[in-house]
Structure 1
Amino acid sequence: MLLDLSNRQKNILKNILNNNEFNIDNFAKKNGLSSRTIYRDIEKITEELLSFNLSLKKDGNKYIIEGSQDSLLELEHIVSNFYYELTPLERKKLIVAELLTSKEPIKLDYFAKKFNLTAPTISYYLKDIEKWLEKGNVYIVSKPGVGVKIKGNEENIRKATTNFIYENIELDSIIEYIHKDYNTNTKKLKNSKLLGLLDAKIISQIEKSIIMLQQKYNYPILDKIYINLTIHIALAIKRIESGEEIVLESNTLNNLKNSKEFEMAKVLTKYIQDSTGVILPEDEIGYIAMHLLGVDYKSVHDIEYIAFVKEIVSAIIREANKTFHINFFHDEILVNGLTNHLMYTIFRIKSNLNIRNPMLKEIKEKYKLLFKKTEKIIKIIENKYNLQIPEDEIGYIAIHFGAAIERMGNDFKIYNVIVVCSSGIGTSQMLLSKLENFPQLNIIKSCSIIELEDTIKNNNVDLIISTIPIPKLNKKTVVVTPLLLEDDIRKIEKALSISNLNSIESKKEYIPSLQRKEQLKNIAIYGSNIIEILKNSDMVVHKYKNTENVIDELLDIHYKNKKITKNEKDKILKALIKRNNISPIILPNKKFVLYHLATDYTDEILITIGKFKELIPMKNILGKKELVSTSFLLVAPKNKKSIETLGDLSSAIIEDDTFVEELNKAKNKKEILLSLENTLLLKYYEEIRRVID
């Protein structure tokens, strides 16, 4: 008997048989799929098991296969013979791992035979791999008959390798690998093939050497520095054995030599040399010293640097006060902790050393709102101080603020919330955007009612906020409208037993009903304008090249369609030519010219897109020539809503590169109308949101 299952479904079944426990959300995230897809896989597995007289039951976090012992034994025998087929992503990761560690070029045939694929498929994989490597200024060099090899600055190659390890190997696997006895079986570890980038025996010797250093100097090393340092040295040894050495800028090296950390780094490299036989050169010692520098910043940083960091900390906290509506300056633990942390961080940023946050993925998933708000705060600081603070570091700063909020206890508690609507999408999006204005609410997930039970079991939930009535559960639940009105906010406050939800947005004045009616009327007019635009939009292929004739061609089609009279056309043409002579709108490097006008000589919005048969040179407002392939005419009557629509469309043309690119590529009227419709509907949605909010 055979099982008609996909590779993914076979993998799920294998997990259930081996462990019983199977977390749908975790599996979905790991494989880049929706939870709903995995639920469908579970349904398919359940159907297939019926042919064995077996059933799949759910008990809490466990899935249990029930049936006779003979049927279970038959199933286990079939499953044990499943051949696990690597996914394209897994193959690409293994290719990257080999390229990063190989001394010599590798032929495509080698990878083709290894993965039972064709050489062209491997070439296709390499294109994706090269895109990832190029982000770190590392490249793939291909020589016919020789093979492919990684090429780049030694520092960049090491950074790429470190990035690859952290992005593709789970933190618990890295820690377990670093701390394990190198004689144990590494195949039992997760990501064992990728962990082959690091030599287990060397890792073991490095760890012993670091412990000896800590004991000699009574010098505690933070976990994050410990892991970063271990991986850095392990990769350095591997690269040195391949004949590659890193070079540190001479002034930086000379300054480091005066620090206590440089002497410690020399001692550490001596321990490593004694245990491994590998001699680390002076520049490598300098890099190790920089890893150690963050531990005791006062020994190496001058008063000016410390003052600079304290200024940045104050700026961060000021912005956080505005964002969270809390005075964080009263929290000395936060101020001191953030100062000590950034002393280390800013030194590493300025020294061009990687900052690694092994918890980043978990922080972004579990504390999504906290991370998002911290990211906005840091963006302001980056612009003010001309710094580039990596995402990993933003994760650490978010945790500092999270801990500060936690210390406030009942004064500012964060509540874990699940948002539910009938489909998991649609109406929940509007509700989510409003809930995100309340920093006390940590939105764990937006889900459908089908996924709700599993989501509750896999998370610590304080409140369920739903747009639809849901069955009674052992959790506090409130039903609200997607608009999240004042009554809905009061319901949430009552459910959480708090007096006031602190909104990030300032309180808005009450809008009288007459004003609200006027706004709703304006939305209706805006919508009718969109219909009018799509009805009155057309396309021409230009016969002429000079501006007057080009505009005339764009207008003439509306005259032929009896949208304007001959006299109206002449008046509009004259005004457009005059306007264009004063300030022509030719978008730089976009091959696009715009002619627009608000006038009394039309009652309708008129649009024409013109296509030139070849690139035409035109002078921009600075008198410089630009090559143009597309012209765009936009004429609107002089009423408030038409002018607003004209302004929105003009700004979309000027600001939205995608919209302009679509119009440039459009080959017929149908494609043009589709692009116009998509852009205008997005603007319409924003207009609705502006009024409702």
Structure 2
Amino acid sequence: MTLVNRWYQILQYFIAYDRLTREELQKITATTSQTVKKTIQLLNEQLDHIAKIIEKEGFYQLKVIDTQQFEAVMNGSLKQHVDLNSSSKRIAVLIDCFIKQNDYIVIDDLSDLLGVSRSTVNKDLRSLKQLLAEYDSTLIGTPNKGLLLKGQEENLRMLYLYHAYDYLEYTPLNGSVLQLIEELSLTKKLDFRMVGLLKKVITFTMKRIHSGNSLSMKIPYYVNYFAADPQLEMLMIALEENYSLTISQYDFDFLCFPLNIFNNNAVDDCFSGEMQAAELFRGMMETIRESVILTLDEQKLFSQLKLHFMFLINRIIFRVQAYDLFGHDFRNKLAFAYELADLGIQALSNFLVKPKQEAEIAYLAVYFELALKNESDDEDFKEIAIICNTGKGTALMIKRQLRNVLGPNIQIVHYSEEAYKTEELNCYFAIFTTIPLEETKVPTIMIKLTDLFNDSWLLGEWKRIIASKAASFKNIQFNFELLAVEKSYEENLTVMLERLTAEKLVDEKFAAYILQKAQEDSAVIENGIAFPHGINNQSDQIIVSIGSYREKVSLEEVELIFLVAIPVNLTIDAEDELLSFYDTIFLISSNPTLRKQVREITSEKDYTCLLTKGER
């Protein structure tokens, strides 16, 4: 593996996992401890003021400094600076050359193009042929003519997108198209990786259509759930006008695939996709039954699974990997369900003639485990429990991450640190927790989450925040408090709580809970931000008090306090608004300029204005 690819391999894991040991990084990269250390050193030099991987107490963590530039990095910008000494760069140039050229190419021309010897070109061509085989494509060699690339158009496009695009330069999309994409990223809840992929797909697809290489047939088993979406129709019209060409339905469906790979999007018409998913599900179960004696209510399983399954099919078709939140122990703790899922993913991959996506196994195993428990238990049960010492807001954040892949059919419940001790936890097949649990209280799989409020949560949502600025707070009542420099964090927090209590906005139980947690430092996140929050019985509204120092303080000290009182019963609108408000906190935490500007704010109007207009 080339160095730049190893960099991206490491960064992808740091987005999925908060902390990694050197041993884990050795396993991920299949290298020695010394190589891991050197790789991280070189990566930090490349990232410069954008991000940094630090070692602390035996763990490596990724700290993002400039979120906007980090988005560009994760969308491939590091590869732009790689020269032709890299085999990955040379192969990217070869792919570009063969895809653009509709005629035979001789090796001497390739040698001149790359500026390397014929022997080096032949070595690169051997590597390219292996890569092409994964995309059902090939190089046809003819004596006295040279080499010609052959393959289905959709496979050639995916080959280019995943193995060439990032290494080459492209003209950016124009402003009107970018604006439509920004609006899509908000309404369809796309994270920055999917937005980046969508831009690449549009840019390259337009070039292919312009050069006369349109798709001539439907991609088998792929369903575009946004074929009739008004926003997508507007985007297609804008592209046709800007590029002076006509986009066929097949090419339009291909353009939309980044929106059709995760089920965090609202889909109204699922009938066609459901029928195809049912067909593939039956084939998958038939293959599983050939290897394992199994008795399951398959109709009920498909009913629970279908939304996840529909998007899973699209991910396999387009070779998109999901992030695995379940960790390394999942396979051993749910061995039988994992085996069933492994057989199922392999069967789907074989049927669709696509590579097996290992990360999908754990998510599919969730549904098999639920089905197995349904067969063995007569009583109804809850599926996933979330136990947090930081309150309901944390549970909402975890829930969002899980539902991004698993979909809305998985039921998720939340327990506080105190409440879980009185619950019967063996009715859950999985427990996500931010605190150590008593072993006797955990009869099922436990997934420990650490450093929850760090950059990894921000990364998945910041693009949406940049687009919307979350400026409408209809269900939140704001208060602003000037903090005294001579007082400690706990003393300033006490003053804020006393003010809210006197105004009858929070109850005494809430105040006592917040002060108790303050002594444990569980509410202090990073970059001088404190985020104490808990349940409040006094009000039906979300109460937010923002405390700030007007003067700059040391980075080691608390600079801003976001005190949040959450009502016992949240409406759907209030819950969405609370999540959007959390996103603004993490955005502010990652941006020194915004932190400085927030310290000067004294009203909700100013706060909203700052989020709407961005940095001043």
Structure having the higher helix fraction is 1
Q: Could you tell me the TM-score, scaled by structure 1's length?
A: 0.35
Q: Which one has more relative contact order, counting CA pairs under 8 Å at least 6 apart?
A: 2
Q: Could you tell me the TM-score, scaled by structure 2's length?
A: 0.39
Query: Larger radius of gyration, structure 1 or 2?
Result: 1
